[in-house]
């Protein structure tokens, strides 16, 4: 094992009475510092000035949904483009049926809501766009999928350069607008079944520091709860949903939460030749050596240890390897990640359906058998 590689935290490192108190420090920095209310005397627990910390972990309903989600696929490059279809794919009914027939049972649906909402209060979402997304959500639910609906690619919120066809708003209202958009989504879709999950935001980073994200997630969740009292809401950490950033995530005091991480390590393999990566990653990198396999196992199980200690399921919301890698290596990598997630009892969603990471060939209208088998087969 590479000595410089981040090591997963051992479950025994966490407090043995982890459900009796609220962990407020990072996994990496605060493994020995608990709030005074954790444990302690009866006098301390009854102190009106320093009351005990509220117990919080996921309700049994959340764990049941987590276990029922089954193999997942991201319907990527559809609704998270500035406008649907600009990045080559649209959400077709035949894709929904094809995904079901292949054995997928969860669809994560990335949506760029920020480009379809007004720039002034009350930040009204374009009705045609909202109805279009709703139609696809309803088609997926009717087919039997669990659906993870998210906010994706809000470039300005992260401080990133805007994509072509994307518009900016007054930076002073970015967070307020984010909350306002989620309020509308929640009210519009609040009557849907528990198979619909809301994921507050994809890969917060940059301007959206861990501290700012924790505050925004908590504020947004409160607004969502007005119309969705017990819907499962998914919240991942800053730093692009990196598993090793879970220690920076403060889960709100709410029993109907699930966390999420994304995993693309080893990055030199998964993103070789990707045109959007700076600096470009050289091609010709194979996978998976024993060292690379350790990186995969450790990253996934770091999230598992966090889940066991904190009491929330974790969704592996994205993983995959770009098409510039050789297919044999992509298949090996995909199977290793899927197997590691299975060992961790972690639901997952592969990135993605039919684009540059895709398991489906939209030209030939067929699944790539080797990749599909790595995900669904043995």
Burial grade of 302 (CB within 10 A; 0-12, 13-18, 19 or more):
buried
Q: Write out the two tokens for 359.
A: 């398991």
Instruction: Look at residue 33 and give its three-state secondary structure.
Output: coil
| Rama region for 241: left / alpha / beta (φ>0; ψ in -120 to 50; rest) | left
CB environment 359-370: b (16+ within 10 A), e (fewer): bbebeeeebbeb
- CB neighbour burial string for 107-134, b if at least 16 within 10 angstroms, e if fewer: bbbbbbbbbbbeeeeebebeeebbebbe
Residues whose CB is less than 8 angstroms from the CB of residue 172 and which lie 6 or more positions away in sequence, other chains included: none
> Is 37 within 8 Å of 21 (Cβ atoms)?
yes
| Measured CA distances, 159 to 62, 163, 166 (Å) | 33, 12, 13
Taking the C-alpha atoms of residue 89 and residue 79, their distance in angstroms, rounded to an integer, is 9
**Catalytically annotated residues:** 203, 318
Q: Name the nearest CA neighbour of 67 among 354, 348, 377, 378.
A: 348
Separation CA 67–CA 266 (nearest Å): 27
3-class DSSP state of 61: helix
Which residues contact residue 75 at a Cβ distance below 8 angstroms, ignoring those fewer than 6 apart? 91, 95, 107, 108, 109, 110, 352, 353
Give backbone dihedrals phi and psi of 46, rounded to 5 degrees, phi first. Answer: -100, 10
**Residues 210 and 239 sit within 8 Å (Cβ to Cβ):** yes
Residue 83: name the closest of 126, 29, 25, 145 by CA.
126
The residues near 277 (Cβ < 8 Å, ≥ 6 apart) are 271
């Amino acid at each position: 094992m590479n000595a410089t590689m981040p090591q997963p935290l051992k479950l025994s490192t966490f407090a043995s009475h982890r459900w009796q108190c609220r962990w407020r420090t990072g996994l990496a920095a605060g493994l020995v510092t608990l709030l005074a209310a954790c444990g302690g005397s009866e006098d301390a627990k009854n102190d009106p000035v320093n009351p005990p910390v509220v117990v919080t972990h996921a309700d049994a309903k959340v764990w049941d949904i987590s276990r029922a989600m089954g193999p997942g696929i991201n319907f990527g490059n559809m609704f998270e483009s500035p406008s649907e279809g600009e990045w080559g794919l649209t959400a077709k009914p035949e894709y929904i049926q094809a995904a079901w027939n292949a054995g997928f049972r969860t669809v994560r649906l990335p949506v760029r809501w920020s480009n379809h909402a007004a720039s002034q209060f009350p930040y009204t979402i374009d009705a045609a766009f909202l109805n279009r997304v709703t139609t696809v959500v309803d088609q997926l639910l009717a087919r039997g999928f669990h659906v993870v609906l998210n906010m994706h690619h809000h470039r300005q919120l992260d401080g990133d350069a805007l994509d072509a066809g994307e518009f900016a708003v007054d930076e002073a209202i970015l967070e307020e607008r984010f909350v306002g958009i989620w309020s509308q989504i929640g009210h519009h879709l609040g009557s849907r079944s528990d198979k619909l999950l809301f994921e507050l935001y994809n890969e917060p980073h940059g301007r959206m520091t861990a501290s700012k994200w924790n505050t925004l997630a908590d504020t947004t969740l409160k607004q969502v709860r007005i119309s969705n009292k017990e819907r499962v809401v998914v919240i991942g950490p800053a730093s692009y949903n990196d598993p090793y950033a879970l220690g920076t995530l403060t889960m709100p005091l709410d029993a109907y939460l699930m966390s999420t991480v994304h995993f693309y390590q080893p990055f030199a393999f998964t993103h070789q030749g990707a045109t959007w990566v700076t600096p470009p990653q050289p091609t010709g990198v194979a996978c998976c050596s024993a060292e690379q396999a350790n990186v995969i196992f450790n990253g996934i199980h770091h999230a598992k240890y966090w889940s066991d200690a904190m009491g929330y399921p974790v969704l592996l919301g994205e993983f995959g390897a770009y098409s510039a890698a050789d297919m044999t290596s992509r298949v090996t990598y995909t199977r290793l990640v899927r197997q590691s997630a299975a060992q961790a009892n972690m639901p997952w969603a592969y990135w993605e359906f039919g684009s540059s990471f895709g398991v489906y060939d939209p030209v030939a209208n067929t699944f790539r058998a080797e990749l599909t088998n790595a995900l669904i087969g043995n």
